[in-house]
Amino acid sequence: MKKNLVILTGAGMSAESGISTFRDAGGLWEQYPVEQVATPEGYARNPGLVIDFYNQRRKQLLDVQPNAGHIGLAELERDFNVTVVTQNVDNLHERAGSTHVIHLHGELTKVCSSRDPYNPAYIKELKPEEYEVRLGDLAGDGSQLRPFIVWFGEAVPEIETAIRFVQKADIFVIIGTSLNVYPAAGLLYYVPDTAPVYLIDPKPVDAHSDRPIHVIREGASEGVKELRKMLVP
């Protein structure tokens, strides 16, 4: 029987594909204050700015490809029951072939109702030719279409789903996340004591945990290659 492999990924997973990270030097937060483009208050104040910010992020998806790390994780499905829990809003895991991806912070390629963001009736997957959303484009309930993104200060509806899978993990892997953003960072506390934990990141990461962690000091692509050698005989 295949073991359950659960992988938590953050911005470092997609950085090698050319997706701008938010926190690093020169990252998006330096260009756009988080309060402006990633909070409900910022959206209420200037919806046009926020909609355009995510239009630009969406268009960037057309110019980038999954990297070897994304592809390596998808290939691990041959040997494991793989669940990817990602803090990223891009679709690179899916494009690389991963079949079970839980997006904690929403999905860039989707839009939803401003009034009722998590109502599935009003969540829409955009085709690439629809990536430009405008003021005046309405959801099924008559409210402005907004990005299907979990902003700071909003609930993270998928966290309970993620916890359920983490609690059943035989192996847990963390890739490219600073473990500073909660509730995602707290998932480590739900990993069974019997499950080995691997952390892939070229920079030091404080896991805020006393449990033993196998650290692979590499970027996503090289790190996943090394992980594969350890996990697949």
Q: Which residues are known catalytic residues? A: 105
Own/partner contacts of 127-132, CB < 8 Å, gap of 24 or more, are 128/62, 131/55, 131/58, 131/59, 131/61, 131/62, 132/55, 132/59
Q: Which token pair is 172?
A: 């847990």
Show the 3-state SS of the chain.
CCEEEEEEECHHHHHCCCCCCCCCCCCHHHHCCHHHHCCHHHHHHCHHHHHHHHHHHHHHHCCCCCCHHHHHHHHHHHCEEEEEEECCCCCHHHHHCCCCEEECCEEEEEEEECCCCCCHHHCEECCHHHCCCCCCCECCCCCEEEEEECCCCCCCCCHHHHHHHHCCCCEEEEECCCCCCCCHHHHHHHCCCCCCEEEECCCCCCCCCCCCCEEECCCHHHHHHHHHHHHCC
